[in-house]
Amino acid sequence: MKHPALALLGAASVVVLALSACTSGGEGADATGDRTIVFATGEPDHLTPGRQTVAFDQVLSVFAPLVTLNEQNELEYVQAESIESDDATTWTITLKDGWTFHNGEPVTAHSYVDAWNHTAYGPNSWENSGQLASISGYADLNPTEGEPVAETMSGLAVVDELTFTVELIGPDSQFPLQLSSGQTGFYPMPEAAYEDLDAYDRRPIGNGPFEMTEPWEDNAEFTVSAYDDYAGEQPTIDGVTFRSYTDMNTAYTDVLAGNADVVFVPAGKMTNAGADFGDRLYAFEAPGVDYLGFPLWDPRYASTELRQAISMAIDRDAVNEAIYGGIHEPATALTAPSMAGTPEGVCGEYCEFDPDAAKALLEQAGGFEGTMEIIYPGGLGIDSLFEAYANQIRQNLGIADVVAKPTTDWAEYYESLTSKTVTGPHFGHWGALYASQQNTLRSLFTETGGCYDCTAYSNAEVDALLAEADAAPTLDESYALYAEVQEVVLEDFPTVPTFSNKYPYVTSPKIAELPAVSGSVVLSLVELSEG
């Protein structure tokens, strides 16, 4: 080595050459004029419907639900021929004939009953197990202690090839709504799935408009193609490529550059989306609500007037403009307007910005001593939102010390709720999985609702009214009763309703129209631009 400098440069070029040999070549740009789209999203956790918690778009394209909602939020059958009951407790589900899974297997009553039993069985620990909890016999498969005493739920019975009955633990008028697309725990699986469930998780065989033609591999994009024998409404496009991004801001930029076609707008880009995309920004009415929860066990927050004062000190319109680019809607009820029968405006003056009334209420509550910490999960990109809340409460209520305080991450935030160590008003969000007020109200405001820790609120009167609503003979009657529940809850004002969500999506010019149901994009019915 006479010339180390040159040798080093030489080494660098060897490195460069070696690299060009060892990394795989690219596929190059997509051919133009094809009828497939690229959907920019996060990496899936699972693709089995009973397991996924973040891969809705992927799973919804490969599977068809029993029912869906139309634009008027009315129930429409997809895979189901009918769903009927005389007493709202025992339901008879009849399937449409002639539907097949992508491997050619017919979709039968067994496809549903077996899949539901497998999803519900405790030791399988499938993430969406809880969605089936209202079926009789679920508890036998999920004892609080010890081994399950059964492998199948007693409430499920196959009547014939296309008919099965479901017995619930109590009357529930909302059951048909629970079978809509968001609750993927209610999806069917073919017999072929059980041969190798790990392989199935990588390449699920569904009954939906698109089929998987190749297994999903970690961090690699995968494509689903239109299933020619799909018995439902034929897809308008040939396929969808799901490309995963770790940083959704990058996904947004990639759609802006035209390298991908659809993306959910990340929190940090909401104010830019209108200017960047114009009429290619869609804001779909979503089933989610945002609220501030309280440590109701803490004497400092025990006063209803104090919580109302905080609510009236927040200028929701200004926050919406500044943080969300006006995309969300200020909340006027405890559920999102797209939940059928939601009594919009039931929150009344307490959800309206009125600093004077807020101050008066605070005085009535005896003021507030000390530091008010507003807790939210860090790492979600919602820091400016919570700083805005803190500023407004400080200024409009005249409380000197109000700080927005992030936790390290979601796990710590959630732990602070379950262990009841949260120290102040806190982040709250509930995304209903089906379009009924029932889901949000039961989850957040009853002790057994699954998210009791989210609000720490329960009330016997609410429980009784909810049961009455669940047992209502018609959906319309149930809606009125749920609306009544909202009134009763709001008398106690356990949470400050802040926003009804809209789910914002942006698209590349390739897409002319992006349809959606309950805030989720319907990929099979996307309209492409001509030319």
Partner 1 sequence: MKIAVGIGTRAGGLLVVFVGVTFLIYLMVFGLPGDPIRALGGDRPLTDSVVATLRERYNLDAPLWQQYVDYLAGLLRGDFGIDFTGRSVGGQMAARWPVTIALALTAWAIELIVGLVLGVIAAIRAGTVVDKSILGVTIVASAVPVFVLGSTAQLVLGVRLGWFPVAGTAAGWPTAYLLPALVIAVFGLAAVSRLMRTSVLENINADYVRTARAKGLDEGKVIGVHVMRNSMIPAVTYLATDLGFLLGGTVIIEGIFNLPGVGNLLFQAIRSHEGPTVVGVSTALIVIFLITSLIVDGLHIALDPRIRR
Cβ proximity to partner 1: between 4 and 366 the closer is: 4
Q: Within a 10 A sphere around the Cβ of 527, how many other Cβ atoms?
A: 12
Please report how close the Cβ of residue 48 comes to partner 1 at its closest, in angstroms.
11
Residue type, 126: W
Stretch that binds partner 1, among 76-84, 138-146, 168-176, 487-495 (CB under 8 A): 138-146
The span from the CA of 420 to the CA of 296, in Å, is 9
Residue 458's contacts (CB-CB under 8 Å, 6 or more residues apart) are: 445, 446, 447, 452
Cβ proximity to partner 1: between 113 and 139 the closer is: 139
What is 329-379 written as a DSSP string? EE-SSSS-TTSBT--TTTTGGGGS--HHHHHHHHHHTT---S-EEEEEETT
Cβ proximity to partner 1: between 101 and 138 the closer is: 138
Residues facing residue 90 across a β-bridge: 167
Member of 72, 144, 195, 530 binding partner 1 (CB under 8 A): 144
Stretch that binds partner 1, among 142-150, 264-272, 305-313, 458-466 (CB under 8 A): 142-150
Stretch that binds partner 1, among 128-136, 319-327, 496-504, 517-525 (CB under 8 A): 128-136
Stretch that binds partner 1, among 71-79, 408-416, 491-499, 503-511 (CB under 8 A): 408-416
Cβ proximity to partner 1: between 4 and 473 the closer is: 4
Q: Does 118 bind partner 1 (CB under 8 A)?
A: no
Q: Which of residues 293-352 bind partner 1 (CB under 8 A)?
A: none
Cβ proximity to partner 1: between 141 and 281 the closer is: 141
Please report how close the Cβ of residue 435 comes to partner 1 at its closest, in angstroms.
16
**E-state strands within 161-302:** 163-167, 210-212, 222-226, 239-244, 262-264, 281-293
Residue 92's contacts (CB-CB under 8 Å, 6 or more residues apart) are: 82, 83, 84, 85, 159, 163, 164, 165, 166
Please report how close the Cβ of residue 134 comes to partner 1 at its closest, in angstroms.
12
The number of C-alpha atoms within 13 Å of 208 and in the hemisphere containing its C-beta is 31
Residues facing residue 436 across a β-bridge: 340
Member of 24, 32, 70, 72 binding partner 1 (CB under 8 A): 24
- Comparing CA positions, the residue from 369, 177, 209, 362 lying closest to residue 287 is 177
- Comparing CA positions, the residue from 461, 423, 458, 434 lying closest to residue 444 is 458
Stretch that binds partner 1, among 446-454, 474-482, 499-507, 511-519 (CB under 8 A): 446-454
Q: Does 275 bind partner 1 (CB under 8 A)?
A: no
Q: Are strands 516-517 and 496-507 parallel, antiparallel or unpaired?
A: unpaired
Member of 126, 386, 434, 479 binding partner 1 (CB under 8 A): 126
Residue 517's contacts (CB-CB under 8 Å, 6 or more residues apart) are: 68, 69, 181
Length of the chain: 531
Q: Does 10 bind partner 1 (CB under 8 A)?
A: no
Cβ proximity to partner 1: between 176 and 431 the closer is: 431
Q: Does 27 bind partner 1 (CB under 8 A)?
A: yes
Site string for partner 1, 366-405 (x = CB under 8 A): -------------x--------------------------
Q: Does 243 bind partner 1 (CB under 8 A)?
A: yes
Helices (DSSP H) in 90-196: which residue ranges? 109-120, 138-141, 175-178
Q: Does 169 bind partner 1 (CB under 8 A)?
A: no
Q: Which of residues 87-116 bind partner 1 (CB under 8 A)?
A: none
Residue type, 94: T
Member of 34, 45, 461, 491 binding partner 1 (CB under 8 A): 45
Give the per-residue SS3 of 468-521: HHHCCCCHHHHHHHHHHHHHHHHHHCCCEEEEEEEEEEEECCCEEECCEECCEE
Residue 356's contacts (CB-CB under 8 Å, 6 or more residues apart) are: none
Cβ proximity to partner 1: between 3 and 72 the closer is: 3
Please report how close the Cβ of residue 341 comes to partner 1 at its closest, in angstroms.
22
Q: Does 413 bind partner 1 (CB under 8 A)?
A: yes
Q: Which of residues 179-208 bind partner 1 (CB under 8 A)?
A: 198
Q: Does 152 bind partner 1 (CB under 8 A)?
A: no
Cβ proximity to partner 1: between 433 and 517 the closer is: 433
Q: Does 487 bind partner 1 (CB under 8 A)?
A: no
Q: Does 280 bind partner 1 (CB under 8 A)?
A: no
Site string for partner 1, 46-75 (x = CB under 8 A): x------xx---------------------
Q: Does 23 bind partner 1 (CB under 8 A)?
A: yes
Stretch that binds partner 1, among 82-90, 241-249, 482-490, 522-530 (CB under 8 A): 241-249
The span from the CA of 151 to the CA of 142, in Å, is 10
- Comparing CA positions, the residue from 432, 416, 519, 516 lying closest to residue 482 is 432
Member of 89, 94, 250, 458 binding partner 1 (CB under 8 A): 250
Q: Does 247 bind partner 1 (CB under 8 A)?
A: yes
Q: Does 418 bind partner 1 (CB under 8 A)?
A: yes
Q: Which of residues 419-438 bind partner 1 (CB under 8 A)?
A: 429-431, 433
Residue 324's contacts (CB-CB under 8 Å, 6 or more residues apart) are: 270, 271, 499
Cβ proximity to partner 1: between 182 and 208 the closer is: 182
Burial environment of residue 1 by CB neighbours within 10 A (0 to 12, 13 to 18, 19 or more) = exposed
Member of 157, 357, 403, 451 binding partner 1 (CB under 8 A): 451
Residue type, 368: F
